[in-house]
Structure formats: structure tokens, C-alpha cells
A = this chain, B = another copy of it.
């Protein structure tokens, strides 16, 4: 009670000792608030002299516009959310680490280049955090069917773009994804061309779109070429389970002579398992895994990897989102398919020299 009274009484001076407001700048420059606002934001009709003068005074006073006030007034915060799926309280899994890191890096860059900043918000966050931050739009990674967070955002009119084809009929404004089926078929063909007779798959037990599409493509391929499917599933979010599953796959009586692993750690784990069973790579076992990690360039032998190009996806997703925010883009959903990249290394190189490759005709001469 007295506190407030004292407060007011003891402040006959300026309204703030702390920071200079736009009012202070206006007073110091001898112009109106409007003029200051216009001068600093490059709007209105002002002679350069005035503009310069105001800017100089603002600089001298160390004036920084209040982001909160601006956001309130304009309805734009300059923030976009990056929503990651969570497993057991922890944001993004170990498996998705390299993918996510690269994707986030690219997204951050792209957002920044257009004047936006990125906020990381796990999908399972406490609701109060979500509603406590003013988002101009959100990127959602791999949204699950009827994702409540996405539904709520859309209801509020916040643009949403997803990385990964949205399951069901989630009302996102746009999405970007790889053509996972084509990628898997390409790899299987590549392995078959390298001499594989029985190709195995290391896959996950979860039902996200990536896992589902990839597995289905594998099964289809098997059916087409008349091979019995050989695969092991494991909970991809468990960092230890990969090694166990890799071991199990190579321990089977119908052991495959080539394996494609859907997740990042599968490469090293398969390699370790192969070693335990005395299998040489690529002589006894061809290996490919989906990974963004560069370590596979230096393993013994180097392992062929499929890159999903998370950097390109992150950039594309942010561009689409900002277009939607700024009303540039189309009015109905946009989908964009990104190329994957198969980096062929020793682990999947043709080992049977049955087909005579003429040695003189090396790569490209030059």
C-alpha cells in the first residue's frame, strides 16, 4: 500500500532510470514519437536530415526498441518454433541426433537470413510454455497423427509446416519430405547390383512415417524380386538396442549377405557384429545405412550411407514457413520432395569380379 505511494512520490524525475524509451528519444531529439518511429523504421516522409538526427540521438541514448511492445502492436514476433518429438521427457532422440542437429543448424541459418529467430519447443512441453511464447509460425518435425499441438496451433491460425509427410490429414500449410520409398528401392537395387542375394533390413518398431514407408518399400521390393524378407525391428529411440538388433540379424540361420540399416548407429553396430561373426565387409557382407554422420567415411571399411539431406530440408521448411507467414506463398498446401543422396563407399562396392570390369577405363581420365 505505502509501497506504491512511495513509489510514485519518490519518482518525480523521469519515468525510468533503466532504459531509454521512444519517448525519451523524441524529447531529446525535439521531435514527436511518430517521427522517431518513422525515422528508425524507415517509414513515413522525412527528410534525410531529420532521419539522421533522430538516429543519432537514439544511438546516443542507447535506445533499443522494446521487442514486446513491437510484437504487441504489430502482431509479429519474429519468432518461429521448431518442434521436435520427444521420447520420455527428453527432446529428440539419440538416433536422430545428427539429423536433427544438421537440420536445426540449417533452419537457424535460413530463419536468421530472413530476420527470424528459432525457438526450440519439444512437442510434449508443458502447455504453459507453448502459450507463453508468441510464435509467428512453427516447424514440426515428424508430427504424429492428430498431433494435439499442431491442431491447437492451426486453430489459432498459426502457420505450420512439417518436416516429414504429415500422417493422416493433419492440416499443415506445407510439408517437405524425402521420397523414402524411392530411396529404399534405390539402395536395394544398388545392393543387388553389387551382387547381394539376400538383403536384410534393420528397422524400427515405432510407427512414424519414415519407418513405415521405408519398411513397406522393402517388403514390396522383396515381393517383386521374390526374396523372403529378412529383417529385425527394434525401438529406435533406445541407444543400446541397435547393437543388439544388429547382432540378432547376423545371427539368424537365414543370415543376409547385405544389410540396410534405417538408423544412424546401425552402421557401426552392424560392422561390430560382422566382426564378431568373422564376416568381412564387403566380401561376406554388404552394408549400407542411413546416416548423416561423417564418421562412416573413416571406418574400416568406409560405409556407404544414405543422406536425407537434413540441411536442405531444414532450409526448405523454413522458407515455406516464412512464405506462409508473410503471405507470399500459395493458399493451399504445398508439398516438396527433396532428393536423397547415396554416398557409395567400400562397404557396398561390388565384390564379385564375375562381371569383368575393364581396369584401364578408370573413372574419367582427367
| Contact B18–A157 (Cβ < 8 Å) | yes
B120 touches A133 (CB 8 A): no
Chain B binder among A48-56, A99-107, A200-208: A99-107
List the one stretch of A31-39, A88-96, A164-172, A218-226 in contact with chain B. A88-96
Q: Please tell me if A97 contacts chain B, counting CB pairs below 8 Å.
A: yes
**Partner of A132 from B19, B67, B89, B243 at Cβ < 8 Å:** B67
- The answer to the question of A336 belonging to the interface, with a C-beta cut-off of 8 Å to chain B, is no
* Across-interface contacts of A77 in B (CB, < 8 A): 67-68, 133
In whole angstroms, what is the CA distance A116 to B126 when docked?
A: 10
Residues of A290-332 at the interface with B, using a CB-CB cut-off of 8 Å, are 293-295, 297-300
Q: Which residue of B lies closest to A297 (CB)?
A: B268
Which of A58-66, A137-145, A230-238 lies at the interface with chain B?
A: A58-66
Whether B117 and A129, one on each chain, are in contact in the complex, defined by CB atoms closer than 8 angstroms, is yes
Smallest Cβ-Cβ distance to A65: which chain B residue: B131
Known: A118-B119, A134-B66. A90 touches B109 (CB 8 A): yes
Partner of A70, one of B19, B100, B132, B275: B132
**How many angstroms between the C-alpha atoms of A132 and B133 in the bound complex?**
14
Say which residue of B62, B64, B92, B126 sits within 8 Å of A112 (CB atoms): B126
Is the Cβ of B156 less than 8 Å from the Cβ of A129?
Answer: no
Cα–Cα distance between A103 and B113 once the two chains are bound (Å) = 24
For residue A340, give the distance in angstroms from its CB to the closest CB of chain B: 21
Contacting B at CB under 8 A, from A233-286, are 239, 243, 265, 268-269, 271-272, 275
B117 lies within 8 A of A118 (CB)? no
Cβ-defined contact, B133 with A108, below 8 A = no
Q: Which of A145-180 contact B (CB under 8 A)?
A: 155-157
Whether B132 contacts A105 by the Cβ 8 Å rule is no
Contact of A133 among B18, B19, B79, B104 (CB under 8 A): B79
Closest B residue by C-beta to A116: B129
CA distance A108 to B298 in the complex (A): 32
Tell me whether B272 and A64 are in contact (CB under 8 A): no
Q: Are A115 and B128 in contact (CB under 8 A)?
A: yes
- A317 CB, nearest partner CB in chain B, Å: 15
A185-200 CB contact bits vs B (8 Å, 1 = yes)?
0000000000000000
Task: Specify which chain B residues have a CB less than 8 angstroms from the CB of A116 in the assembled complex.
Answer: 129
Asked if A21 lies at the interface with its beta carbon under 8 angstroms from chain B, I say: no
CB distance from A321 to the nearest CB of B (A): 16
Closest Cβ neighbor of A268 among chain B residues: B298
Q: Which residues of B contact A115 (CB under 8 A)?
A: 126, 128-129, 132
**How many Å lie between the Cα of A156 and that of B18 in the bound state?**
8
| B300 with A300: CB separation less than 8 A | yes
Q: Quick check: is A335 within 8 A (CB to CB) of the other chain?
A: no
Given contacts A68-B71, A71-B71, A119-B120, 4 further A-B contacts (CB under 8 A): A18-B157, A91-B105, A239-B294, A300-B300
The 4 closest A-B pairs by CB, nearest first: A268-B298, A68-B71, A101-B101, A67-B134
List, sorted by A's number, 23 A–B pairs whose CB atoms are closer than 8 Å.
Answer: A18-B157, A64-B131, A64-B156, A67-B77, A67-B133, A68-B71, A79-B119, A90-B105, A91-B108, A92-B105, A97-B98, A97-B101, A98-B101, A104-B120, A116-B129, A117-B120, A117-B125, A120-B120, A265-B295, A272-B298, A275-B300, A293-B293, A300-B300
